[in-house]
Amino acid sequence: MTALARASGISYLLFPELGALASVVLADPLSSWARSPKLLALTPVLTAAPGVLVTRTLPYGPTALILDLAICLLVIRLLRSPVIPAISAGVLPLVLGITSFLYPVAILVGTGGLALIVMLRSQLMPPLARAQVSPSVPTISTLVAPKSWLQRVPWLLPLAVFLLGALVMVQLLGSHLVLYPPLLVIAWEMLANADECPWQGRSLAVLVVTAGAAVAGTVLVLALGVSPLAAFLAVLVTALLLRLARLRCPPAFGLALLPFLIPAPTLAYPLLTLAGTTWLILVVKLDQILKIRFCNPQ
């Protein structure tokens, strides 16, 4: 994808969350993303297009961000899609000021190609393995009744506090990258899907790995430019960091690949993303403390 992006001059082909999606679907054929190839291909596109519209219509700020995020969540909800990284696809235009409608097309090239690989792999699998991957076969995840919308309301207040504080930090630090797109994916999983979030309770590991991924991506772009080798090494370093930390946090790949889209990235990028991640961790910890206190009054 990096070579294609460089040859075509369309940097959007290297959609940062594509690394996160690929890391899961290629490693785990039974994951919800791998078992939903159509949604894997289409959900990020259907959030990316409104993201471009919002960016073309409104300046960056609370109104634009909340509207953009609300549209992303609505699309995911209406499609009943498990592809939460589509949030990142919808917010990225606002953060980087992308106004070209080539962006959702480029996203479709990446996610469509990944979905095609998933479907081809499914066809090449032995019949027994294919039956396990087939979405028509009930699994634990499909037998468990999904939470109702009302049951998910408790995430609203902490998410609002997080967004408000992050927007203040954006103004103070003078960069939209404090609220980098994969951070919204991390925030959603930790606040709205806490019971199933694979990195819940691993705050320090999340801070270290995401910061390391951001540093790796920035240094490699500065050293090697936007090249296939740099992208490969960024993904490799991030995978090693996740392995060493024994952490499963796919959005970390997004942090490593985001510098490939940022015009003239600097070493300020890892510091800005670290500030945003730290703020999220503080909000999550506060939310947990308050829930414990209210659920178990003395």
Higher pLDDT, 19 or 280: 280
User: Do 151 and 85 share a structural domain?
Assistant: no
pLDDT at 185 over 90: yes
| Residue finishing a domain among 145, 168, 188 | 145
Q: By mean pLDDT, which of 8-12, 19-23, 137-141, 238-242 is the weakest?
A: 137-141
CA 280 remoteness from chain centre = 15
Over 90: is that where the pLDDT of 105 sits? yes
Q: What confidence tier does 29 reach under pLDDT thresholds 50, 70, 90?
A: confident
Q: CB-based contacts of 64: which residues, under 8 Å, 6+ apart?
A: 54, 55, 57, 58, 94
Number of domains in the chain: 2
Residue 75's pLDDT is 96
Which range marks the domain in which residue 257 is found? 147-298
Q: Identify whether residues 188 and 273 lie together within a single domain.
A: yes
Could you tell me the end-to-end alpha-carbon distance of the chain, in angstroms, rounded to an integer? 56
Distance CA 89, CA 108 (A): 11
* Residue 281: per-residue pLDDT: 96
Within this chain, do residues 29 and 129 fall inside the same structural domain, yes or no? yes
Is the predicted pLDDT of residue 139 greater than 50, yes or no? no
What pLDDT is attached to residue 193? 87
258 and 188 co-located in one domain: yes
Q: What is the mean pLDDT of residues 60-74?
A: 95
| Two tokens, residue 199 | 């990195």
Q: What is the mean pLDDT of the chain?
A: 86
Q: Quote the CA–CA distance of 49 and 51 in Å, as a whole number.
A: 5
Whether the CB-CB separation of 15 and 107 falls below 8 Å is answered with yes
Specify whether 202 is located in the same domain as 224: yes
Other C-beta atoms closer than 10 Å to the C-beta of 199 total: 21
Whether residues 121 and 134 share a domain: the answer is yes
Query: Residue 146: its pLDDT value, please?
Result: 46
Q: Do 58 and 204 belong to one domain?
A: no
What global pTM score does this model have?
Answer: 0.86
Predicted confidence band at 155 (pLDDT cuts at 50, 70, 90)? confident
Last residue of a domain, one of 145, 170, 189: 145
Alpha carbon 149 to its chain's center: 22
Residues 207 and 270 in one domain: yes
Is residue 16 very low, low, confident or very high in pLDDT (cuts 50, 70, 90)? Answer: confident
Confidence band of 231 (pLDDT split at 50, 70, 90): very high
- The answer on 196 and 166 residing in a single domain is yes
The mean pLDDT value for 137-147 works out to 37
